[in-house]
Structure 1
Amino acid sequence: MIIRSPFPDIDIPDVTLTELLFSGEPSGAPALIDPEGRITTRRELDESVRRIAAGLHGRGIGRGSVVGLFAPNSPEWVAAFHGILRANAVVTSANVLYTADELAHQLADSGARLLVTTADLLDVAETAAAKAGIEEVLTLDDAPGRPRLDTLPGGEPPPLVTGPGDIAVLPYSSGTTGRAKGVVLTHRNLVANVLQFSRMGRTAPSTVLLAVLPLFHIYGMTVLMNHALHQRVPLVTMPRFDLAGMLRLIERHRVTKLYLAPPTALLLAKSPLVDGADLSSVELVFSGAAPLDGELARAVANRLDCKILQGYGMTEMSPVSHAIPEDRPDIDPASVGYALPNVECRLVDSAGRDADRGELWVRGPNVMTGYLNNPAATAATLDADGWLHTGDIATVTADGVFTIVDRVKELIKYKGYQVPPAELEALLLTHEGIDDAAVVGVPDEEGEEIPKAFVVRRPGARLDAAEVMGYVAARVSPHKKVRRVEFLDSIPKSASGKILRAVLRRRPAMQEVPSGTQPGPPGWARS
C-alpha cells in the first residue's frame, strides 16, 4: 500500500538551485554572519558568487566539471559552493576530518578537477590532491603560494547553461552498506527538497538560524544553508562545534531555531553550561541525522522551554523525507512525523509484502538518480519503479505519523555520521596480529551507537584492545574510530561466509575497553 503525504503536492519549478536562490535583485539584508559578527549581505553574497563563477570559468571549469570543497563552515564556504554551481559545475563536499587517503578516494572517484580548501587544511588537501591527480588547489583564505578562490581573474560569469536535470552535488555516503559512494543529486532534487522542507519549517522576519551542523553534510547543506537562503533569513556560521561557543552565538545573535543532531541535544539536556546561558530566544529545536529518544527530546524541550521536533532522511533523499511540522508540537517527538509533500512511502516486510511494520521505501522528486558510476549499488538501493529502499524499519499510525524503530542495514550511525563496518573490517585485517575481524554498532552509556570490533588474534600475537583501537584511530577520521574491542576465538558466519552481525550484537559485554570521553559531533573537533 502506498502511503502518501497528508500535505498536498507543491509545485516544483523547472529551475536550477542557482535560479531558485539567486533570482531577482539582491538586497542589503544580512545573509550570513560569521562568529565575530561580520555580516555578509545578500548583495555581497551575490557578488561573491558571480566573481567566483567568473574566476572558475577562466580556469576552464564548466558544465560537468567537478570541484572538491574541503573546508569548515564560513561565509566563504557558502560563496564557494554557490560560485561553483554558478560556474555550471558540480560540488563534491568533503568531511573536514578526512585523512588524506579518505579525501583522495572521494576526489578520484568523483573525477574532481580542482580542490578548494583553507590554509589550516592545506597539508591534507595537497597530499590528497596529489594522490588523486589534481594539479591545482585553491584556498578560501590567505595561504602562501596558493591563489585565493575569490581573487581569480575572470570578469563576467559565464551564461547559466545547466538545467534542472544536471548534477548539482556529489556528497559521499555509504548508503546502506559498503564504502562511501558518490550520491548523484541533481538541481531538481535540491530545489524540490528545499521547497518540500519549507512546508514543514516556517520562518518569520525575526528568524535567525545557526549552522551548528557542518555544511559539507547534506543535512546542513539543505536544511540550514539553502533553506536559509531561500527563506531570506540570516545564517550564523560556526567553523567547528563547541558547546560554549554555540551558547555564546545563540545569546549574541538571538538565534531562534536550532537544527542539530542527537548528540548536541544530549548536551543541551545535561550540560551545566546551559544553566548560565540566555537561551530565551530559542523557539524550536529540530533533530535529525540519527534517532532521537523521546525522553531526551522532552528533557530538552523542558530545559529550554521550546518546541522540539524530529525529522528523517538520508543523503540519498537530499536529505529530508519526513518531519514533524512546526505547527504540530503535539506529535510525539520520538516519531519522525509525516512524509513531506510530493513524497510517497511503503512499508515492506522481508517477503516483499506491504506491512504495518517493515522497511521504509520512499519515492519522490528529492530521491537521488543513483550512485556515481556504480550501477550495482544503485540497483541494490533504488528499484526500477523509483522506490528508494532505506534499510530502516518503520511503523506508521492511521493518520500518517512515522516512527523509525529498527535498522536492517549494517551501517553504523555514530553521532549522526555514517561508519561502514566493511571499511573498518578491511582495515583491521591489514594488522599483522589480526586473523579475522567484524565490526558492529553497539550502544554506549548514553545510548549512542558506537563501533565495536570483534577481533580474532593471529596465533602467537600479543595484541590488546588499546593497540587495536590505536591502529584504527591513526588511519581513519575520528567518527570512524573503534571504541570497543572484544577478542573471540572465531567470528560467527553463515554457510556462505557472511558475518552474523545479529549474533554479535546479542553477545553480553565482556573483555571490553570503554570508549572514554566521547568527542563532540563529528565534522568539528578531533578527539
Structure 2
Amino acid sequence: MIVRSPFDDIDVPDVGLPEFLFGDLGDAADRVAVIDGPSGQRMTFGELAHGVDRFAAALGERGLGRGDVIALFAPNTPYYPVVFHGALAAGVAVSTVNALYTPDELAFQLRDSGAKLLVTVSPFLDRARAALRSDGLAVTEVVLLDDARDEASTPMPENALADLLTTTAERPSVTVTGDDVAALPYSSGTTGRAKGVVLTHRNLVANLVQFQAVNASTGPDSRILAVLPFFHIYGMTVMMNHGIYVRATVVTMPRFDLADFLRTIAEHRVDRVYIAPPIAVALAKHPMVDQYDVDCIEMVFSGAAALDAELGHAVGKRLNCTVLQGYGMTELSPVSHAMPQDRPEMDLNSIGVALPNIECKLVDPETGEEGTRGELWVRGPNVMREYLNNPEATASTLDADGFLHTGDVATVTDEGVFYIVDRVKELIKYKGYQVPPAELEALLLTHDGIADAAVIGIKDAEGEEVPKAFVVRQQGADLSDDDVMSFVAERIAPHKKVRAVEFVDAIPKSASGKILRKDLRAREQAPA
C-alpha cells in the first residue's frame, strides 16, 4: 500500500543548485542574506552571489571542475555558503565534514571522498594538519576561511579565502545539471561506518521546494537562526539553503552556548528557530531563558531526533510560539515528513505528513507485508543517488523500485499522519548526531584488555539516547569502566563517546556470529 503526500506534486526545476538560488536575485541583491551572530558582520545577497562567483573562478584556476570534490571542515560562518555554492557553481562537489572529527576520522573522509582541496578554519588546523599527514590523500591545498595561520610546519600550502576571492579569473564555463553530484555528506545510514551519501543538485533543489510547501510562511521578512551545523544535512538544507531560497536572513552561530543563543535571538530579532531536542530541554526548563527578550520567536522547528510531545508543548507555552517537528535522513536530503506550519494542532508526537512528490510504504521487516505499521520506505526526487563507491550498502538501503529503506518503524493514520514508533536499524542518535555501534565496537576491540564488545543505545536520566558498551575482559585484564570510556574518548569525536559500560561474560550472538542487540536491549529493560 503506497501512501502519498496530501500535497499536490510540485515541479522540480532541472537546474543546478547555484543557478536555482542565485540565478535571479531581483530586488534581493541589497537585502541582508547572512549575519554572523557573534560579531554582527553582514553579507547581502549580492555580496554572497559575488563571493560564490569568485570562489568558483578560483577553483577553476586550480583546474578543479566537474567530477572533483573539495572538503569543507568548519563551523557555521557567513563564508560557509560562499565556499559551498562557489564549489557547486564550478561543477565541484562538496564533502561537508563534522566539525568535531578527530584527525583519523577527517583523514578517512578525505581519503574516501577523494577530496582535492580542504577548506577549514585556523582553530581546526592542528587536526587538519595531522590528518593531512596520512597516506593516500588527494588534497594538495588548504584554504582558511580566516587567516590566523601560525608558523607550524605544514604538509601542504595554506592560503586564505580572502585572497582567493580577489581573483580576476573568469568563472569556469560549466553547465551544471540536476544530475551532477552536489554534496557528499557522510552518514552511517542504518548501520555501519560512515558512508559518503551522493546527493545531486536535483536532490537538493527538490527538497527545498518540497519543504517550502509545508513552510510557506517563511519568507523575505523572516530571520532564521542557524545554530545547528551546516555540515549536517539538516543545517545545510533547512537553514542555509532554504534561507537563501526564500530570501530570508540567516543568522549564524559557530556552536551552541545557551547565553549566546538567547542573546543572538534577542539582538537580531530571530523569529524562526530550528533545533534538535536537547536545545528544547534548555528552552523549556532553564531559568536563563527568562533573562532575555525572545518574544520575537514565532516558530520552533525540531528535527534530527524525536522530540517528546510534552517537552515540545512546554517550549511552546513558555515562548508563546508554534512548535513543529519533522523527520528525515541524510539520504533524503534530508526532509521527507513534517508538520505543516498551518496545522499547529497536529499531534506533536507525530512527524507530520509526507512532503509533496513523496510516496511511502510501511513494510513489516519480518514478513515483507505492507500495511499501516512497518519499516518506513520513502520514494521521491529527494532520495539520494547512492552511497559513494559502496554498491553493497546502496543495494541494502535503496531498492530496485527507488524506495529508500529508512530503518525506522512507523505507523500512519487514515489522514496520512505518520508516527515513528520503533527502529529496525542499529544506529544510535545522540543529540541528533549519528553514532554507529559497529564503529565503536571495532575501536573497542583494538584494546589489549578487551576480548569482545557490543554497543547499544540506552536512555540516560534526561531521556537522551547514549552509547553503552558491553565488554568482555581479556583473561587476567585489570580493566574498569573508566578505562574503557577514556580509551574511546581519546580516539573519537565527543558525540560518539561511550557513556556507560557493563562487563559481561559473553556477548550474545547468532549462529552466524551477528551480535544479538535485541538480547542486550532486553537485558537493559529487565527489572533489577
Say whether the 8 Å CA contact 1:110–1:182 is kept in structure 2. Answer: yes
Q: Report the counterpart of residue 189 of structure 1 in structure 2.
A: 203
Distance between the aligned counterparts of 2:241 and 2:60, measured in 1? Answer: 23
Q: Report the counterpart of residue 98 of structure 1 in structure 2.
A: 101
Say whether the 8 Å CA contact 1:58–1:154 is kept in structure 2. Answer: no
Q: Which moved more, 1:350-359 or 1:436-445?
A: 350-359
Say whether the 8 Å CA contact 1:51–1:150 is kept in structure 2. Answer: no
Mapped pair 1:262 → 2:277: yes
Distance between the aligned counterparts of 1:386 and 1:151, measured in 2? Answer: 44
Say whether the 8 Å CA contact 1:126–1:137 is kept in structure 2. Answer: no
Question: Share of identical aligned residues, percent?
Answer: 62
Residue pairs, 1:60-79, within 5 angstroms: 60-79=63-82
Mapped pair 1:113 → 2:113: no
Mapped pair 1:241 → 2:233: no
Q: Report the counterpart of residue 45 of structure 1 in structure 2.
A: 48
Distance between the aligned counterparts of 1:241 and 1:258, measured in 2? Answer: 13
Q: What amino acid sits opposite 1:65 in the alignment?
A: D
Distance between the aligned counterparts of 2:181 and 2:352, measured in 1? Answer: 29
Q: What amino acid sits opposite 2:385 in the alignment?
A: T
SS at 2:307's partner residue?
coil
Over 3 Å counting, the alpha-carbon distance change for 1:204 and 1:66 in structure 2 is closer
Mapped pair 1:346 → 2:361: yes
Give 1:137 deviation, angstroms. Answer: 1.1
Distance between the aligned counterparts of 1:508 and 1:387, measured in 2? Answer: 33
Over 3 Å counting, the alpha-carbon distance change for 1:378 and 1:154 in structure 2 is farther
Q: Which moved more, 1:216-225 or 1:18-27?
A: 18-27
Q: What amino acid sits opposite 1:178 in the alignment?
A: G
Q: Report the counterpart of residue 190 of structure 2 in structure 1.
A: 176
Q: Report the counterpart of residue 331 of structure 2 in structure 1.
A: 316
Residue pairs, 1:316-465, within 5 angstroms: 316-349=331-364, 350-465=366-481
Say whether the 8 Å CA contact 2:272–2:297 is kept in structure 1. Answer: yes
Say whether the 8 Å CA contact 2:457–2:468 is kept in structure 1. Answer: yes
Distance between the aligned counterparts of 1:334 and 1:267, measured in 2? Answer: 19
Question: Which of 465, 475, 493 is the aligned partner of 2:491?
Answer: 475
Q: What amino acid sits opposite 2:413 in the alignment?
A: T
* Regions of 4+ moved over 3 Å: none
Q: Report the counterpart of residue 87 of structure 2 in structure 1.
A: 84
In the alignment, structure 2 segments of 5+ residues that lack a partner are 150-156
Q: Report the counterpart of residue 30 of structure 1 in structure 2.
A: 32
Mapped pair 1:142 → 2:154: no
SS at 1:20's partner residue?
helix
Q: What amino acid sits opposite 1:446 in the alignment?
A: E
SS at 2:408's partner residue?
strand
Q: Report the counterpart of residue 271 of structure 1 in structure 2.
A: 286
Distance between the aligned counterparts of 1:334 and 1:160, measured in 2? Answer: 46
Mapped pair 1:198 → 2:212: yes
Distance between the aligned counterparts of 1:98 and 1:508, measured in 2? Answer: 30
Give 1:14 deviation, angstroms. Answer: 1.1
Q: Report the counterpart of residue 235 of structure 2 in structure 1.
A: 220
Distance between the aligned counterparts of 1:173 and 1:398, measured in 2? Answer: 32
SS at 2:511's partner residue?
coil
Say whether the 8 Å CA contact 1:286–1:308 is kept in structure 2. Answer: yes
Give 1:78 deviation, angstroms. Answer: 1.4
Say whether the 8 Å CA contact 1:324–1:336 is kept in structure 2. Answer: yes
Give 1:206 deviation, angstroms. Answer: 2.7
Q: What amino acid sits opposite 1:8 in the alignment?
A: D
Q: Which moved more, 1:243-252 or 1:78-87?
A: 78-87
Distance between the aligned counterparts of 1:277 and 1:149, measured in 2? Answer: 36
Q: Which moved more, 1:227-236 or 1:271-280?
A: 271-280
Distance between the aligned counterparts of 1:508 and 1:121, measured in 2? Answer: 39
SS at 1:7's partner residue?
coil
SS at 1:376's partner residue?
helix
Say whether the 8 Å CA contact 2:219–2:247 is kept in structure 1. Answer: no
Distance between the aligned counterparts of 2:270 and 2:66, measured in 1? Answer: 38
Q: Report the counterpart of residue 523 of structure 1 in structure 2.
A: none
Give 1:129 deviation, angstroms. Answer: 2.4
Q: Which digits, 9 at most, give the CA deviation of each residue in 1:433-462, with x for residues without a partner?
A: 000000000000111100000000011100
Q: Which moved more, 1:376-385 or 1:57-66?
A: 57-66
Q: Report the counterpart of residue 317 of structure 2 in structure 1.
A: 302
Say whether the 8 Å CA contact 1:63–1:161 is kept in structure 2. Answer: no
Q: What amino acid sits opposite 1:16 in the alignment?
A: G
Q: Which moved more, 1:140-149 or 1:307-316?
A: 140-149
Give 1:136 deviation, angstroms. Answer: 1.3
Q: Which digits, 9 at most, give the CA deviation of each residue in 1:93-140, with x for residues without a partner?
A: 000110011011111101111111111111111222231242211111
Say whether the 8 Å CA contact 1:71–1:116 is kept in structure 2. Answer: yes
Give 1:56 deviation, angstroms. Answer: 1.0
Q: Report the counterpart of residue 521 of structure 1 in structure 2.
A: none
SS at 1:362's partner residue?
strand
Q: What amino acid sits opposite 2:406 in the alignment?
A: T
Say whether the 8 Å CA contact 1:69–1:91 is kept in structure 2. Answer: yes
**TM-score after normalising by structure 1:** 0.95
SS at 1:189's partner residue?
helix
Residue pairs, 1:284-299, within 5 angstroms: 284-299=299-314
Distance between the aligned counterparts of 1:213 and 1:64, measured in 2? Answer: 29
Q: Superposition RMSD on alpha carbons, in Å?
A: 1.3
Q: Which digits, 9 at most, give the CA deviation of each residue in 1:278-323, with x for residues without a partner?
A: 1100011100111111111111111111110100000000000000
Distance between the aligned counterparts of 2:30 and 2:140, measured in 1? Answer: 38
Q: What amino acid sits opposite 1:267 in the alignment?
A: A
SS at 2:133's partner residue?
helix
Distance between the aligned counterparts of 1:154 and 1:485, measured in 2? Answer: 58
Q: Which digits, 9 at most, give the CA deviation of each residue in 1:41-79, with x for residues without a partner?
A: 011111111111111110111111100000110001111
Q: Which digits, 9 at most, give the CA deviation of each residue in 1:234-255, with x for residues without a partner?
A: 0000011111100000000110
Say whether the 8 Å CA contact 2:120–2:145 is kept in structure 1. Answer: yes
Distance between the aligned counterparts of 1:55 and 1:228, measured in 2? Answer: 25
Give 1:509 deviation, angstroms. Answer: 7.7
Say whether the 8 Å CA contact 1:129–1:137 is kept in structure 2. Answer: no
Give 1:154 deviation, angstroms. Answer: 4.5
Q: Report the counterpart of residue 163 of structure 1 in structure 2.
A: 177
Q: Which digits, 9 at most, give the CA deviation of each residue in 1:222-280, with x for residues without a partner?
A: 00000000000100000111111000000001100111111111111111111212110
In the alignment, structure 1 segments of 5+ residues that lack a partner are 513-527
Question: Which of 493, 502, 505 is the aligned partner of 1:486?
Answer: 502
Distance between the aligned counterparts of 2:440 and 2:494, measured in 1? Answer: 12
Distance between the aligned counterparts of 1:154 and 1:417, measured in 2? Answer: 41
Give 1:463 deviation, angstroms. Answer: 0.3
Give 1:493 deviation, angstroms. Answer: 1.0
Q: Which moved more, 1:146-155 or 1:379-388?
A: 146-155
Q: What amino acid sits opposite 1:106 in the alignment?
A: Q
Say whether the 8 Å CA contact 1:456–1:487 is kept in structure 2. Answer: yes
**TM-score after normalising by structure 2:** 0.95
Say whether the 8 Å CA contact 1:286–1:311 is kept in structure 2. Answer: yes
